Amino acid sequence: MLSDVVVVDLTRALAGPHAAMMLGDLGADVIKVESPTGDDTRQWGPPFVSGHSDGDGDAQESTYFLSCNRNKRSVTADLKSDEGRDLLTRLVRNADVLIENFRPGVLDRLGFSYARLHELNPRLVICQITGFGHDGPEATRAGYDQIAQGEGGLMSMTGPDPEHPTKVGVPIADLLAGMNAAYGIVAALHERNSTGVGRVVRTSLLAGIVGVHAFQGTRWTVAGELPRAAGNHHPSISPYGLFRTADAPVQLSVGSEGLWARFAPLVGIDVADPDYATNPLRVANREALTARIEEVFADAGAETWLARLAEAGVPAGKVRSLDDVYSWDQTRSQGLLVDVDHSSLGTISIPGPALRLDDLPYAGARPTPGAPPRLGQHNDEVRAWLDAVDAGSSSD
């Protein structure tokens, strides 16, 4: 779908690489420009895995890097050198998108202000990803995921109780910023079809976190009620959360009065019980209701209760570990695990894209996914492509 789009990816770590990878999943030609020492995440580990190298010894590959750089070509360049700046200039002239996540002002000092980039290529869509926004009193702060989770309020709502703020188990601020960047870029490319010029798209880790406060945000801004961590139970719906059985917990979601009518008889509660007859009553009496449910659930294991809940039409599920997730037939049926042919590691399995288009097993126009590149793997290939493009432009 984006096979005619060339993306210059100047980013490192996770937010920017994730955005560029999403575009690559949809067919864009993503050229990842790395420093001679490579993206920071190439050194983030363990775990590392060993593969063959072009020289002597084994090549060490970071599983962190592998997670966010599929469908890209890698070139190395020192942007502080004349040769590196020349390469970037040539790429910008032939690109549709440039993504960067330097601190504000770094590109300017390298000689590539946004004004200069648009002089080189007026059609260029530029995406800037920062930690806390490109302007405002804290624009110069470095952005790291867990700091953004805390500063953006997410950790205050996550965890067993208000005294134990807890981060999400993945770098969710980075991932949300990357997703927001990708959809902003696609919108700017669509606009360019009408205007003929590119624009600057900006987002941040802070914006990613605040942007998904959802009902917890309006709970404060409209109702004046300050959300606090409440463990594994929904603050506005009951019963909705994690419940213990005889051997393992199950997740339960009774999100409507119709579902309550199906669920209550399973645990011996009268649907019209005056303490639980409506959702606001069930929320107000959550502790007592949870205790009654878990007392009944203690008579059987998780699989038995999941079968009973499914038969009654009550949404429920187990808590899977990742080995279980990736061996689950449903995960595999959705293309969420893909095999790629890595130049050093051979065939490896990595998490796949979240989108499916029509009946294609893999997102976008690519018949098969591309493996994350080795550092500088495409140095010669990209330079040869630039030579060919520049030669064609000269002949025109």
Amino acid (one-letter) located at 347: T
Which of 154, 199, 203 lies closest to 179, judged by CA?
A: 203
> Where does residue 389 fall: left (phi above 0), alpha (psi -120 to 50 degrees), or beta otherwise?
alpha
Helix, strand, coil shares, percent, the chain, to 5: 40, 15, 45
Distances (CA, A) of 24 to 2, 190, 249: 8, 17, 38
Q: Is 40 assigned a catalytic role? A: no
Report DSSP letters for 369-385, one per residue: PPPPPPTTTTHHHHHHH
How do 125-130 and 200-204 pair as beta strands? parallel
Amino acid (one-letter) located at 88: L
Catalytic annotation, pick one of 25, 39, 145, 174: 174
How many degrees, rounded to 5, is the angle at CA 218 between CA 216 and CA 219? Answer: 60
Backbone angles phi, psi at 251, to 5 degrees: -95, 140
* Exposed e or buried b per residue across 343-369, where buried means at least 16 C-beta atoms within 10 angstroms of its C-beta: ebbeebebbbbeeeeeeeebbbebeeb
Which of 363, 333, 326 lies closest to 348, judged by CA?
A: 326
Give the relative orientation of helices 379-395 and 82-93 as an angle to the nearest 10 degrees.
60
Strand partners, 337: 351
Catalytic residue annotation: 174
